Amino acid sequence: MAAPWASLRLVAPMWNGRIRGIHRLGGAVAPEGNQKKKRTILQFLTNYFYDVEALRDYLLQREMYKVHEKNRSYTWLEKQHGPYGAGAFFILKQGGAVKFRDKEWIRPDKYGHFSQEFWNFCEVPVEAVDASDCDINYEGLDNLLRLKELQSLSLQRCSHVDDWCLSRLYPLADSLQELSLAGCPRVSERGLACLHHLQNLRRLDISDLPAVSNPGLTQILVEEMLPNCKVVGVDWAEGLKSGPEEQPQDTASPVPA
Amino acid sequence: MIRRVLPHGMGRGRLTRRPGTRRGGFSLDWDGKVSEIKKKIKSILPGRSCDLLQDTSHLPPEHSDVVIVGGGVLGLSVAYWLKKLESRRGAIRVLVVERDHTYSQASTGLSVGGICQQFSLPENIQLSLFSASFLRNINEYLAVVDAPPLDLQFNPSGYLLLASEKDAAAMESNVKVQRQEGAKVSLMSPDQLRNKFPWINTEGVALASYGMEDEGWFDPWCLLQGLRRKVQSLGVLFCQGEVTRFLSSSQRMLTTDDKAVVLKRIHEVHVKMDRSLEYQPVECAIVINAAGAWSSQIAALAGIGEGPPGTLQGTKLPVEPRKRYVYVWHCPQGPGLETPLVADTSGAYFRREGLGSNYLGGRSPTEQEEPDPANLEVDHDFFQDKVQSAWAGYYDYNTFDQNGVVGPHPLVVNMYFATGFSGHGLQQAPGVGRAVAEMVLKGRFQTINLSPFLFTRFYLGEKIQENNII
């Protein structure tokens, strides 16, 4: 057993930092045996003592507040250095990477530090943003939407990007050509429906979206909606049953006894 | 277990042997007696209600600070905001009385679930904008420890309202007001419409307004269950029963012009249990009328409208139930995934349902065609084509000006209204709940000023007409 503090995980696992796996709604999360026992004790304590419940509630609210703090709108920075500088700073602070036009990719290192030289060329428009694994949410998109000439946006595995956020992407319709939503646990086919504003999109990656109920059918409908765009990531034939011509083959070759 | 439960005086502190293990056996029913003793002791201990004589656990409590009549989305929203805005934890005791816990006839569950900001009144637009931000952050507002997050199944596809020649000018001015309040609405000409949605028949359409953000439709049942769960965790009590009587005390007072007026204050609510004559008198300080389509019956119980017509005493609450049909049909080559909720010049509307080419929609009937609201049977002839399925629901229709009634009654001073929204109660529920809670706790509207929606406008004859009713 790990250190005592680690075993006393006071915050419900779904809200602990990155959300691992699917958001299971309604049904119980299937945990391993040891975790299940710990969680029942915690649940028992929460149901019996107001103090434990209040403490857990407070910790939950603090987790949510931390995400909000990360997604503040940098209006002062925008006044000082323009929209591209403010947007780039926001992405780099979150842990993503930014590429200005005709320049190299700027990435933070593993400690979160990044080179500050981009302040010198913040009149240059930002061409590509790689916001994979960042905690961007609806409010944080304020900073992204200032980058009017963005051509490529990657929101892979962003756990707070949901359908509401996708409905906000339409101001980038003139310039956005590449969008990747692979692995976002909260994006469903309803959010994909509002991507029809992005008529200049040439490549859309919708692989591994656990909240989409029928990936094959969704891919067909999205392709119909965006005729000039190449939709990758889903095989529309997945989930379809094999046709009748396959079955006689099985009956022809008898199973050896 | 019984060792810890027995108080020190009884027995010898610690039993040496469990009962039922006596040598030689006994013919008495030890196990039954032991469980009865355990039950009696548990009821004596603190934290449990003492029901030694009579079991009253199914009845509502005898005292409650606020009684909310009606447990639909508006009633639960008021309960939630009362608990959220109270000055100290546990300061207010709230009881929600709902006649039907299956919500079989409640407007919330039967609603199409749309939310849009395209109204003509600025207050309606602000309410809708706040509700959109509430729904967006619903897992922060309604977070309960250990409960799974809510999935509202929100479709952000927007609303598309079509206008004919004669309504085009009104639509333009409405869109101007909406943009001023902060809604993101764009105007489209018939050519742009055909470009964007090639399946639209633009005959007779002069202008269209398309909501780009914060508009769409969601699952109202999920919102209801989420509110219920959160509100229960905050300590609000629920009761299944019907309000049959209000006991009030009156006081004669003089106005500033020396005219006598009788002010009433409700001090007891009689809640009758389902399928029984048993009722519980609940002493209360404030009553909130959120009974939806049946609000006028509750108002009549409180004596609102008993008086000569034309006076303040004789002004009834003009909310009545109106039946509306919703039909579901299948159309294999229909509009694609990006279809917004389209509302025609004639008032007919439709939207997509799911991935499989199913559509649902309906139309508000004209005054002559109003169906009988006695039951929720569907008239299939109203829809002139083949339907997959259909249902009907009630609008809590305000016959005066089709806008909600919010706030206290001038004469029955502790009855607050939150009803009469005529088909857009669901999308304005969070904002209205907060407004009523502010009125109850602070005495005035703080965030959104809903004073045009007060009851007094029925007496003064000031209509605030909303033009965009679907």
pLDDT digits (tens, 9 = 90+) for A177-189: 999 999 999 999 9
Residue B446 reports pLDDT greater than 90: yes
Q: Is pLDDT of A21 > 50?
A: no
Question: What does the pLDDT look like over B39-91, one tens digit per residue?
Answer: 888 877 777 666 567 777 788 999 999 999 999 999 999 999 999 999 998 89
| Residue B129 and residue B181 in contact, taking contact as beta carbons nearer than 8 Å | yes
pLDDT confidence of residue B16: 52
Superfamily name with CATH number, domain A67-232: Ribonuclease Inhibitor (3.80.10.10)
How many residue pairs from chains A and B have C-beta atoms closer than 8 A? 83
Query: Given A167, A170, A189, which is nearest B355 (Cβ)?
Result: A189
CB contact under 8 A, B143 and A25: no
Return all residues near B401 (Cβ < 8 A) that are at least 6 apart. B457, B463, B464, B465, B466
Q: Do B355 and A218 count as a contact with CB atoms less than 8 A apart?
A: yes
Q: What is the pLDDT of residue B469?
A: 61
Whether complex ipTM tops 0.85: no
pLDDT of B161: 93
From chain B, the residues in CB contact with A29 under 8 A are 148
The pLDDT value given to residue B467: 74
What is the distance between the alpha carbons of residues B94 and A241, in angstroms, rounded to a whole number? 54
Interface of B with A (CB under 8 A): 136, 140, 143, 145-146, 148-151, 153-158, 212-214, 216, 336-338, 355-356
Q: Write the pLDDT tens digit of every residue in B359-396.
A: 999 888 877 778 777 777 777 777 777 788 899 999 99
Per-residue pLDDT band at B102 (split at 50, 70, 90): very high
Taking 70 as the threshold, does the pLDDT of residue A253 lie above it?
A: no
pTM exceeds 0.95, yes or no: no
pLDDT of B54: 73
Q: Which candidate in A194, A218, A225, A229 is best for mutational testing of the B interface (most B CBs within 10 A)? A: A194
Contact list in A for residue B88 (CB cut-off 8 A) is none
User: Which residues in chain B have their CB less than 8 angstroms from residue A189's CB?
Assistant: 337, 355
Q: Do A190 and B157 touch (CB under 8 A)?
A: yes
Q: Find where tokens 């001038």 sit.
A: B410
pLDDT of residue B470: 59
Strands B319-330 and B237-254: unpaired
Three-state DSSP at B330 gives strand
pLDDT of residue A26: 35
Chain A residue numbers with beta carbons less than 8 Å from the beta carbon of B338 are: 193-194, 196, 225
**Strand-pair category, B415-419 with B279-289:** parallel
Chain B contact set for A168 (CB, 8 A): 213
Mutate to test the interface with A, among B134, B232, B234, B337 (most CBs of A within 10 A): B337
**pLDDT reading at A96 higher than 50:** yes
- Residue B165: partners with Cβ closer than 8 Å, 6 or more residues away: B204, B206
